[in-house]
Amino acid sequence: MQMKIGIALGGGGARGFAHLGVLKALEEKGIKPDVISGVSAGALIGAFIASGFSYSKILRALKNKGVMAYSKWQYPRHGLFSLNGLEKEVKKHIKTKLIENLKIPLFIAVSNLNDGRIEYIKEGDLIEYLLASVSIPVLFSPVLINDKMYVDGGLFDNLPISPLLNKCDVIIAVNVSPIQKIEKFDNLVQVASRTFQLGVHSNVIRHKEKCSLLIEPKGLRNYEILNGNKAQEIFKLGYDYTKNLDIPKFE
């Protein structure tokens, strides 16, 4: 009997391009996801994969475009920037409207601000929940869904393996959010981004031991989470690291 494989893709901004390299290398080793769980950048990559896009096509679609490239300054009532640009870009490529209609089952981790809890969404409007999952608090406006305000799922869970625990025989988690040292901060955006990054780090640690396999590509701390200009490098880093891993056969 074939084992069911679930892959959890963590958040990490532009470092999320490493997910593409990791997934490509895993596929070359005969490992493909039956279920995907993603948060923030991991949810975005997961949605493209679950829609049936090739790794090269995803890279071409999003290459050199970190999330800030899609954002626009706005009057900061709930967030400094809007993600209308990202919404248009994703809609241009992904035509599937509902999460449950994707080719591969997908869970999107989002944080419910009103109720103060994490939610793993498997049904509903794909674009709405994707935008919510990447909306770093303060930087981006929360997304209003069914009278609730939602933001980046990494606030509570930046390595979303929980929805896979009772559904998969094998759980592979990909963490692309290592903590790096920063000498100085030039603006409020950098301070807000760093504050959020430090906050989510602790909730990653508690999930690591529950994975069948944890992949943490080395060298990612050298890349800024809001700068997508080195997408190809980050992709290659994830690919090379995973290609050289000695991964056991899951059977």
Cα–Cα nearest to 93, from 62, 64, 66: 62
Calculated CA dihedral for residues 196, 201, 203, 204, nearest 10 degrees:
130
Cα–Cα nearest to 60, from 224, 233, 232: 232
Q: Which is catalytic among the residues 37, 40, 82, 135?
A: 40
**CA–CA gap between residue 38 and residue 46 (Å, rounded):** 6
Q: Is 173 in a helix, a strand, or coil?
A: strand
**CA–CA gap between residue 49 and residue 33 (Å, rounded):** 10
Indicate if 82 belongs to the active site. Answer: no
> Token pair 């709405």 is at which residue?
128
Q: Which is catalytic among the residues 51, 82, 152, 193?
A: 152
Indicate if 40 belongs to the active site. Answer: yes
Backbone angles phi, psi at 194, to 5 degrees: -65, -40
Tokens read off for 123 = 């049904």
Q: How many other C-beta atoms are found inside a 10 Å radius of the C-beta of residue 205?
A: 11
Tokens read off for 112 = 């419910």
H-assigned helices in 76-187: 84-93, 126-134
Residue 120, CA distances (Å) to 107, 192, 233 in order: 6, 25, 31
Tokens read off for 185 = 């901060």
Catalytic residues: 40, 152
